[in-house]
Amino acid sequence: MKEKVKEIIKKYNLINTGDKIVLGVSGGPDSIAMLDILRQLKSEMEFEIYVVHINHSIRGEDADEDEEYVKNYCRKYEIECFTKKIDVPTIARTEKIGTEEAGRKVRYEYFEEILKETGSNKIAIAHNKNDNVETIIMHLLRGSGISGLRGIEPIREEKFIKPLIECDRQEIENYCKENNLQPRIDKTNFENEYTRNKIRNIVIPYIKKEFNPNIIETITRLADVVSSEDDFIENVSNENYKKLLVIEEKNRIELKLKEFNLLDEVLKNRIILIATRKLFGSTQGIEKVNIEDIIKLCNNNIGNKFLMPNKNLKVLIQNKKINFIKID
């Protein structure tokens, strides 16, 4: 599996000479396999690694033992390890969000903190092929557009890397067994309280049994096809965005209204998302219904009209222009 991970790294250019990488390590099979393999590759490929572990204060003694397991591995191989205990359930209640969402939020915040502290430039996450398929099914159930069917990107924002993205769960478990890593097992992964666990423990086994035993490979191939076609649409959309652009400032983007209205619906959707991403850094919070409302507003282009698809974005039609305005 080490050679396979090496090929994944080369295929997607995940790691370059001189990189300093923060590894998110829970102590489970995926993350400990990733750590073990990158530890072996770091001298050969000339990069540095740091380990980050977060105790979410959810699983009591089990969580404390996870933390100690990761620390012991790092002591054995003289790897710098950063750990932090965070009361995720309290954060979830305070911020009125789910425990899963709160856990993800604090993890990534701590990753970023250690990234800066160590002067690192990349963060490695141990997502695997099965995780990718589960994510695609989740997106499908939520009515995702074509971009959601791409699944988990091997590299995002030139910073977040997934060296195990083409390794399936069985390969990883076999690697752990063969190398006597004795990973920690999070028993909550077998509880069907969360959507992802239901997909992992109920939906995918049912599809394998009743319809397609190779469903993991089938959906992975679908994601590859979708990614290529989505990249093409995105490139065409960016070219059209540049043609429509009048003003691009930190808090405001202005586009030509008449030319926008002449475009195909697919390109209109993408251009709205491009403008939103440029203002906010992501498209989170913009739903399909918001995009449809913006297009309707543009079609009814007489006079000054505006809408606010969310509290941070104002879309104003004025003087034959579309203005996307970020509200601080």
Class of domain 2-218: alpha beta
Classify residue 236 by burial, with Cβ atoms within 10 Å: 0-12, 13-18, 19+.
middle
When pLDDT is averaged across residues 284-291 and rounded to a whole number, the result is 83
In this structure, what token pair is assigned to residue 65?
């033992």
φ/ψ of residue 161, rounded to 5? -115, 150
C-alpha distance from residue 226 to each of 149, 161, 215, 231, 234 (Å): 7, 20, 16, 8, 12
In terms of Cα–Cα distance, which of 72, 74, 106 is closest to 89?
A: 106
Mean pLDDT of the chain: 92
The whole-model pTM stands at 0.85
When pLDDT is averaged across residues 162-167 and rounded to a whole number, the result is 98
Provide the pLDDT for residue 171: 97
- Domain 249-326 architecture: 2-Layer Sandwich (3.30)
Instruction: Please name the amino acid found at residue 285.
Output: G
pLDDT tens column, 57-90: 777 788 889 999 999 999 999 999 999 998 888 8
Q: What is the largest CA-CA distance in the chain?
A: 70
- Tokens 């072996």, located at residue: 40
CA angle 209, 214, 217 (to 5 degrees): 145
Provide the pLDDT for residue 304: 64
Spell out the domain ranges in the chain: 2-218, 249-326
pLDDT band at 169 (very low <50, low <70, confident <90, very high): very high
Q: Is 88:106 a contact under the CB 8 Å cutoff? A: yes
Residue 315 has pLDDT above 80, yes or no: yes
| DSSP letters spanning 161-225 | E-TTTT--HHHHHHHHHHTT------GGGGSTTSHHHHIIIIIHHHHHHHT-TTHHHHHHHHHHH
Handedness of CA 207, 210, 212, 214 (dihedral sign): positive
Provide the pLDDT for residue 302: 64
Q: At what angle do helices 99-118 and 88-95 cross, to 10 degrees?
A: 110
When pLDDT is averaged across residues 96-101 and rounded to a whole number, the result is 84
pLDDT band at 29 (very low <50, low <70, confident <90, very high): very high
Provide the pLDDT for residue 58: 77
pLDDT band at 227 (very low <50, low <70, confident <90, very high): very high
When pLDDT is averaged across residues 188-206 and rounded to a whole number, the result is 89
